[in-house]
Structure 1
Amino acid sequence: MIPVIEKASKGEIKEFQEKKLRELLVYLSENSPYYKALFQNEGININDVNSIEDLQKIPVTSKTDLQQYNDDFFCVPMHKIIDYATTSGTLGSPVTFGLTDEDLERLAYNEAISFACAGIKEGDVVQLMTTMDRRFMAGLAYFLGLRKLKAGVIRVGAGIPELQWDSILKYNPKYLIAVPSFLLKMIEYAEHNNIDYNNSSIEGVVCIGESLRNQDFSPSILAEKITNKWKIKLYSTYASTEMSTAFTECEAFSGGHHHPELIITEILDDNDNPVAEGESGELTITTLGVEGMPLLRFKTGDIVKLHPEPCQCGRNTYRIGPVVGRKQHMIKYKGTTLYPPAMHDLLNYFEAIQNHVIEISTNDLGTDEILIKIASSKASEELLSEIKDHFRAKLRVTPKVEFVPSDQLNKIIFTPMSRKPITFIDKRN
């Protein structure tokens, strides 16, 4: 199930996207209060924007713009909105997105081709281990995509290893959709309850919310900890509410595939200029085919790298590599630039660490401070020393590390009001 456009030549893909871009600009100029005002205030003639390169003539849209002028981004009357979703608010106040019937169709198409990318086929049974409530777009998108793909869905929701295993053993799903770190809890539960997980029906997991790959696409420590025990295939997928689009790995495990019929991407530097090929920058997106709240040159805050070479799966679309980190989460610590994913991966190296939370704050000198709270049944000065040595060796810095009781840390990580486990807290102004 590879869409024709994704097997087209790079020239054909560019021509296709530029036609869709011109259609989008007309739609925004007629229906979007925000972009209508932007074009007028900046003196932009949309007839002058005919190519991907011409997008440079239009200012970027920031998360702050979305938060400040949320209602002005709606392009349809409110009676046409049939589903409301909000961003998680990780980088500030949550933003409301309204989806029309057409938008839900587009969302279903996006996930259907994304899951097909990971090998899920019609008739496969998939266990959905994420919430569909709390105004969470992703859970709904997964359900709609699997339905469109004509796969069976078991809607178990997040957490509760016992219930997850009960469903696996009862319904024999072939795939799971899950947060990868939770798979370690699934393994632990199986081992304590004599469940032969390597002889279960599970062949693969589409993993959300946490990185599985290093920048060279080798498995992260978290991925290795899972697959060293459970012999299953792990597929990365990267998406956001603002994009209404996913970038999912195929069996080459070399980055998430771009769907050119759904989204235009740019990789920009700190001055909003395109980076050189092969360099990392901030992913900036323009949505195609969105009716309710389309976005033009929206800066996602995620630092990524594009991989343009054709893939062995037959797609000619470029791939997006693992997220290096979120721009707003960048930490300057003792002269070194750090992103949380690198620290999470380093902490996953230690079998003795049950859970951890990274806290960033500003000290009296106005510089960044890092405090890592760790839960471990083997807490000792020796383990503390090992962790600090490992940080020094791998990241060239030694943050403050302290042990806290497991139940105390779990209250922070698994907050009832949060849709995702909280392992990073930014207390900086």
Structure 2
Amino acid sequence: MKEFDPTIERSDKALIIKKQDDLLKDTIKYVLENSAFYQDHFKVNKLNVEDINSISELNKIPPISKKDLQSRNKDFWCAPAKQIVDYCNTSGTEGQPVTIPLTKSDLDRLAYNEAISLACAEGSDEDIYQLSTTIDRRFMAGLAYAQGVIALGAGLVRVGPAPAELQWLNIKELNPTTLIIVPSFLVKLIDYAERNHIDYQNSSIKKAVCIGESIRDDNLKLNALGSRIKEKWDIELFSTYASTEMGTAFTECKFGRGGHEHPELIITEIIDEEGNNVKDGEFGELTITTLGVEGMPLIRFRTGDICRKFTDPCSCGRTTSRLGPLLGRKNQMIKFKGTTIYPPAIFNVLDNQEFISLYCIEVYSDELGNDQIRVRFSAERNFDLKVLKEQFSVNIRATPMLIEESFEDLYRIIHPKNSRKPVKYFDFRK
């Protein structure tokens, strides 16, 4: 069985940096031999392979963005078609989807990444994981979770994004210990259990690995969504962060102090608008360099995600850097009534409303070009609109337009045809 608590993650920081320096040099050499994009990128910027010998020199390479991936997707590919065993793609929520080719080695890396991530979240081969996300539609995350569970030697129940009733039937039959689940869907599982007199407090479930949505605020405390779950069901909650492009997950340990970096798989930077590294603990844009990827390695890719990095030692003994929860996506920043807002702040207000069952946010420009926010929601009978307005006023210092709709109409909007996941944010700004 492979080691799922890698030595490097508890090593002296100097040893971690030395390891990353060596892997970075290998990555740069590899892309300059195989990637048409990086060959052009180095030529235009008058760089050579000898110019970057350590991560301290990585900032000599200008960062790239999602637009580069979208406009020159196949120029990033480094492996021939006969070596590609799987084609994943991004969700396309920010424009044209990007296809990510994976070799057999990349799939093994993906499984290893998820196995050590689940182990970080107190997982072991004694666990049975119930997976509530899809593994079809070229979705990398579902594939990664499934392969990681298998690599860990644990049991796997592939229920997928099935209704709450089917989730509970599988829990009753197979006694899984851990859910891999979107936290807002976990709320729906609790609600269903209460309505149908299911004794969920005494079920087999002990942990939830929360994906796709944050359960913590930017101070690493449970946010409204995380608190709502924990108040109802006292199971262990583990927050995660990942993206298709990086093929790597950041999962928190039991101390909940941010998602641990796997330094043998990825290099992270938090940079400002000018591309300079910010100080530890300051917010900036996450920029990543993948290590050990064959199909589509990336160097200094600006993810568009705003977060911060913590480098102090964690109580779990790992010496690796940790990423805090996302403040939001750079291109989703909203200027509303003199206040700068990211969508997660609005989500947090709505998630704290017990009687709101569904919601989505629409951002658009008025006739003067100013940002405007429209919240469409479905609520139960006991809902009080005045309370919601007060919560917006207190938490984001401004109240958006609030429109109540039927559950059925809103469900169709949030679950568009062919989408792999619910869509709660729509940006109609030009």
TM-score range, shorter chain: over 0.9
**Alignment match, 2:417:** 416
**Alignment match, 1:395:** 396
Whether the 8 Å CA contact 1:392–1:398 is kept in 2: the answer is yes
Q: Which amino acid counterpart does residue 163 of structure 1 have in structure 2?
A: L
Q: CA deviation at 1:414?
A: 2.0
Equivalent positions of 1:288-327 (< 5 A) are 288-327=291-330
Q: Distance in 1 between matches of 2:23 and 2:410?
A: 48
Q: Does 1:145 align with 2:145?
A: no
Q: 2:185 aligns with which of 182, 185, 207?
A: 182
Question: Cα deviations across residues 326-368 of structure 1 (Å, max 9, x unaligned)?
Answer: 0011101122110000110011111121111110011111111
Q: Does 1:215 align with 2:218?
A: yes
**Alignment match, 2:246:** 243
Q: 2:163 aligns with which of 140, 160, 164?
A: 160
**Alignment match, 1:344:** 347
Whether the 8 Å CA contact 1:129–1:155 is kept in 2: the answer is yes
Equivalent positions of 1:69-108 (< 5 A) are 69-108=72-111
Equivalent positions of 1:360-375 (< 5 A) are 360-375=363-378
Q: CA deviation at 1:123?
A: 3.0
SS at match of 1:153: strand
Moved more, 113-122 or 222-231: 222-231
Structure 2 unaligned segments of length 5 or more: list them. none
Q: Which amino acid counterpart does residue 419 of structure 2 have in structure 1?
A: S
**Alignment match, 1:198:** 201
SS at match of 1:76: coil
Q: CA deviation at 1:276?
A: 1.6
**Alignment match, 2:14:** 11
Whether the 8 Å CA contact 1:159–1:182 is kept in 2: the answer is no
Identical pairs, percent: 52
Q: Distance in 2 between matches of 1:197 and 1:392?
A: 35
SS at match of 1:408: helix
Q: CA deviation at 1:397?
A: 1.1
Q: Distance in 1 between matches of 2:110 and 2:75?
A: 22
Q: Which amino acid counterpart does residue 425 of structure 2 have in structure 1?
A: F
- Taking structure 1 as the reference length, the TM-score comes to 0.98
SS at match of 1:354: strand
SS at match of 1:360: strand
- Taking structure 2 as the reference length, the TM-score comes to 0.98
Q: CA deviation at 1:25?
A: 0.7
**Alignment match, 1:233:** 236
Q: 2:43 aligns with which of 32, 40, 50?
A: 40
SS at match of 1:228: helix
- Provide the alpha-carbon RMSD of the alignment: 1.0
Q: Which amino acid counterpart does residue 412 of structure 2 have in structure 1?
A: K
Q: 1:112 aligns with which of 107, 115, 121?
A: 115
Whether the 8 Å CA contact 1:110–1:245 is kept in 2: the answer is yes
Q: 2:380 aligns with which of 377, 381, 385?
A: 377
Question: Cα deviations across residues 38-93 of structure 1 (Å, max 9, x unaligned)?
Answer: 11121101201112121111111110000000010000111211101010112111
Q: Does 1:28 align with 2:39?
A: no
Whether the 8 Å CA contact 1:76–1:292 is kept in 2: the answer is yes
Q: Distance in 2 between matches of 1:150 and 1:330?
A: 42
Q: Does 1:122 align with 2:125?
A: yes
Whether the 8 Å CA contact 1:360–1:427 is kept in 2: the answer is yes
Whether the 8 Å CA contact 1:359–1:372 is kept in 2: the answer is yes
Moved more, 294-303 or 385-394: 385-394
Structure 1 unaligned segments of length 5 or more: list them. none
SS at match of 1:82: strand
Question: Cα deviations across residues 147-188 of structure 1 (Å, max 9, x unaligned)?
Answer: 110001000001311110010000000001000011111111
Q: Which amino acid counterpart does residue 80 of structure 2 have in structure 1?
A: P
**Alignment match, 1:68:** 71
Whether the 8 Å CA contact 1:190–1:196 is kept in 2: the answer is yes
Q: CA deviation at 1:379?
A: 7.4
Q: Distance in 2 between matches of 1:146 and 1:373?
A: 37
SS at match of 1:341: helix
SS at match of 1:177: strand
Q: Which amino acid counterpart does residue 369 of structure 2 have in structure 1?
A: G
Q: Does 1:285 align with 2:275?
A: no
Q: Distance in 2 between matches of 1:349 and 1:176?
A: 22
SS at match of 2:315: coil
Q: CA deviation at 1:293?
A: 0.2
SS at match of 1:361: strand
Q: CA deviation at 1:274?
A: 0.8
Question: Cα deviations across residues 196-230 of structure 1 (Å, max 9, x unaligned)?
Answer: 00000000000101110011111111111111111
Q: CA deviation at 1:378?
A: 2.7
Q: Distance in 2 between matches of 1:125 and 1:393?
A: 42
Q: Distance in 1 between matches of 2:209 and 2:252?
A: 9
Q: Which amino acid counterpart does residue 294 of structure 1 have in structure 2?
A: P
Question: Cα deviations across residues 95-119 of structure 1 (Å, max 9, x unaligned)?
Answer: 0000000000000000000000001
Moved more, 413-422 or 275-284: 413-422
Q: CA deviation at 1:267?
A: 0.3
Q: 1:224 aligns with which of 222, 227, 234?
A: 227
Q: Distance in 2 between matches of 1:101 and 1:31?
A: 17
Q: Distance in 1 between matches of 2:391 and 2:27?
A: 50
Q: Distance in 1 between matches of 2:46 and 2:382?
A: 62
SS at match of 2:232: coil
Question: Cα deviations across residues 5-51 of structure 1 (Å, max 9, x unaligned)?
Answer: 11111111111101111111111111111101111121101201112
Moved more, 284-293 or 349-358: 349-358
Question: Cα deviations across residues 253-277 of structure 1 (Å, max 9, x unaligned)?
Answer: 1110000000001101111111122
